[in-house]
């Protein structure tokens, strides 16, 4: 993604910070053991969102004084021996190019630099990214620095960047939506490849190989998250990663997968009969999920409370299941629907956003209808990615075969 995106993200952040403040963000590091089994390294998503840099042990600092902001990146030095093991490090010029931050210093200068700034008494606040998901890790730099600052600079107020960044990440910019659309084309290619090759006797790992191969043909070397691909009764394990099951005639295939393009993740699920022809019971259940999904895409629009998406999926799908005789009362819905139906996607597949309020334009979240009917031996989910527009919404994954006709059509041609 071009660096104007990251520059704009930082500008938006600075607008929310009034008093003279220091902002410090860490890209993170692989576990501090020497073993190379921890590579490839994945940088903090908030760090990448703000800087565009994905290198290990990199620190971003902003000295915010009203409209006057000095930005600095602290990077690892070039080191031929370290690079021989773990790959090429970015040069200063490359960091400038990716981030739009013009002051580049070496990591070893960081401690004396921030100590001098905090000792100057000029800064009332230190903003760090305290991510609740990582606070239990003993080697999280934000928590380490926090402990240090409390001890040595107790007059500096520690504040949390996390909610500020979360609220920014809730609304997608147009370049993010473009990247998601590109990712959708690739996800579609992967799912269509699985549908086309599907047949009784095929192993789950063979479906997975089809998906991975199609992604790689588009330059996507690993999916946005570990793919969930299962057949028959394995579909009743929501997070299934066994891959060794075999599709038997009459089984449904379930997959919950996504490509990532330019850091933007997709999360799409489809279900289909492995032999390419829905039987009566599969058809009945699939139509329930499909009707519920279609209904959701017809009503989602700005102003609706986000929490209503999940609740409405359950309610509407209950009516559907009741109409085919499966549910007698709403109390029974938990027997067939085992998980929530909406989460945001973006830099993370379960995106780090503020989902507490009303739906607004340019949010992107999943609409996920999962039906698990153990007595019929049929379980699957239909999950699409919903982009909220000014007056409604768009299904970003609608090109991935979704109706019974589309799925049977693509599997039999």
Which of 156/224 has CB closer to Mn ion? 224
Residues constituting the chain: 413
Shortest distance in whole angstroms from residue 246 CB to Mn ion: 23
Shortest distance in whole angstroms from residue 378 CB to Mn ion: 19
Helices 110-119 and 141-152 cross at an angle (nearest 10°) of: 40
Shortest distance in whole angstroms from residue 169 CB to Mn ion: 19
Which of 57/227 has CB closer to Mn ion? 227
* Residue 359 CA, distance from chain mean position: 18
Q: Residue 342: which of 298, 311, 377, 380 has the closest Cα? A: 311
The SS3 call for residue 86 is helix
Q: How far is CA 52 from CA 87, 340, 401, in A?
A: 18, 32, 34
CA–CA separation, 157 vs 152, rounded Å? 12
Shortest distance in whole angstroms from residue 383 CB to Mn ion: 5
Which of 131/256 has CB closer to Mn ion? 256
CB 234 within 8 A of CB 242: yes
Which of 176/256 has CB closer to Mn ion? 256
Which of 267/351 has CB closer to Mn ion? 267
User: In the Cβ-directed half-sphere of 341, how many Cα atoms lie within 13 Å?
Assistant: 27
CA–CA separation, 115 vs 118, rounded Å? 5
Which of 239/328 has CB closer to Mn ion? 239
CB 182 within 8 A of CB 259: no
Residues 6+ apart with CB under 8 A from 400: 184, 187, 188, 191, 192, 268, 270
CB 165 within 8 A of CB 13: yes
Which of 256/348 has CB closer to Mn ion? 256
Which of 164/253 has CB closer to Mn ion? 253
Shortest distance in whole angstroms from residue 266 CB to Mn ion: 9
Beta bridge partners of 372: 379
Q: Residue 80: which of 72, 88, 92 has the closest Cα? A: 88
Shortest distance in whole angstroms from residue 257 CB to Mn ion: 8
Shortest distance in whole angstroms from residue 79 CB to Mn ion: 40
CB 413 within 8 A of CB 376: no
Which of 340/361 has CB closer to Mn ion? 340
Tokens of 342: 């909406």
Shortest distance in whole angstroms from residue 224 CB to Mn ion: 10
Enumerate binding residues for Mn ion (CB under 5 A). Answer: 256, 267, 383
Residue indicated by tokens 């989602």: 300
Shortest distance in whole angstroms from residue 237 CB to Mn ion: 14
Maximum CA pair distance of the chain?
A: 75
């Amino acid at each position: 993604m071009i660096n104007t995106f990251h520059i704009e993200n930082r500008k938006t952040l600075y607008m929310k910070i009034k008093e003279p403040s220091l902002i410090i963000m860490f890209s993170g590091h692989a576990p501090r053991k020497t073993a190379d089994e921890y590579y490839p390294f994945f940088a903090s998503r908030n760090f990448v969102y703000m800087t565009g840099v994905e290198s290990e042990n990199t620190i971003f600092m902003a000295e915010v004084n009203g409209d006057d902001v000095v930005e600095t990146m602290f990077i690892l030095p070039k080191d031929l021996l370290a690079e021989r093991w773990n790959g090429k490090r970015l040069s200063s010029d490359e960091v400038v190019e990716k981030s739009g931050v013009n002051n580049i210093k070496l990591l070893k200068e960081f401690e004396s630099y921030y100590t001098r700034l905090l000792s100057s008494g000029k800064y009332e606040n230190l903003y760090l990214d305290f991510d609740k998901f990582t606070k239990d890790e003993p080697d999280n730099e934000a928590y380490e620095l926090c402990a240090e600052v409390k001890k040595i600079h107790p007059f500096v107020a520690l504040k949390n960047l996390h909610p500020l960044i979360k609220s920014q990440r809730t609304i997608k910019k147009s370049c993010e939506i473009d990247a998601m659309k590109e990712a959708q084309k690739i996800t579609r290619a992967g799912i269509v490849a699985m549908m086309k090759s599907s047949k009784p006797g095929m192993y789950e790992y063979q479906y997975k190989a089809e998906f991975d191969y199609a992604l790689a043909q588009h330059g996507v070397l690993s999916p946005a998250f570990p793919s969930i691909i299962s057949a028959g009764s394995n579909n009743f394990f929501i997070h299934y990663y066994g891959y060794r099951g075999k599709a038997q005639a009459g089984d449904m295939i379930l997959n919950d997968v996504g490509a990532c393009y330019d850091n933007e993740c997709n999360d799409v699920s489809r279900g289909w009969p492995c032999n390419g022809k829905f039987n009566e019971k599969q058809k009945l259940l699939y139509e329930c999920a499909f009707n519920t999904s279609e209904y959701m895409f017809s009503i989602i629009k700005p102003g609706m409370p986000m929490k209503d998406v999940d609740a409405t999926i359950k309610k509407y799908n209950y009516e559907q299941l009741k109409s085919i005789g499966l549910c007698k009362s709403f109390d029974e819905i938990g027997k067939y629907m085992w998980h929530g139906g909406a989460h945001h996607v973006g830099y993370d597949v379960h995106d780090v956003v503020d989902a507490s309020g009303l739906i607004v334009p340019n949010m992107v979240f999943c609409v996920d209808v999962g039906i698990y009917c153990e007595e019929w031996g049929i379980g699957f989910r239909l999950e699409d990615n919903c982009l909220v527009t000014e007056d409604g919404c768009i299904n970003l994954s609608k090109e991935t075969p979704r109706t019974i006709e589309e799925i049977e059509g693509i599997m039999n041609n």
